[in-house]
């Protein structure tokens, strides 16, 4: 299937809790984030195309002007995780204010996984044929 994402996905080192603001129920933990959407890891599936009011706990109150981020989002997809007892759920954000976008970008910079591989020398075993 063709990738529809227009912004590079950033995998986060910190798993912030994500709540349904209406019910107060914890939906799961933030796994990746962009200014346009997010993915969470959840114990329970969610219905695709449902609209939710989300609350993201922010991991470090010293880095951000608030301790949470509230966003409206659509469940874009929901798939079983590699561990079948969990689900990966993708959200598409609706309106994101400039302040919210700045917080998201600060989270990405502060907490994304560093995926660059070290420049190790070639293994001698790989030269054997």
Predicted confidence at residue 77, as pLDDT, reads 94
pTM of the entire structure? 0.75
Q: Which residues of the chain have pLDDT under 50?
A: 1, 3, 5, 10, 12, 113-117, 120, 123
Domains, the chain, with CATH or none: 17-114 (2.40.10.220)
Rounded distance between C-alpha atoms, residue 126 and residue 129, angstroms: 8
């Amino acid at each position: 299937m063709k990738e529809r994402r227009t912004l590079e996905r950033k995998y986060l080192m910190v798993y912030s809790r994500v709540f349904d603001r209406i019910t107060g129920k914890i939906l799961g933990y933030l796994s990746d984030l962009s200014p346009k959407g997010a993915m969470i890891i959840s114990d329970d599936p969610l219905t695709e195309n449902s609209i939710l009011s989300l609350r993201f706990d922010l991991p470090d109150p010293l880095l951000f002007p608030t301790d949470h981020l509230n966003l409206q989002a659509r469940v874009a997809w929901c798939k079983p995780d590699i561990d079948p007892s969990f689900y990966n759920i993708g959200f598409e954000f609706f309106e994101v204010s400039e302040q919210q976008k700045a917080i998201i970008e600060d989270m990405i910079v502060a907490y994304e996984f560093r995926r660059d591989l070290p420049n190790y020398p070639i293994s001698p075993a790989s030269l054997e044929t």
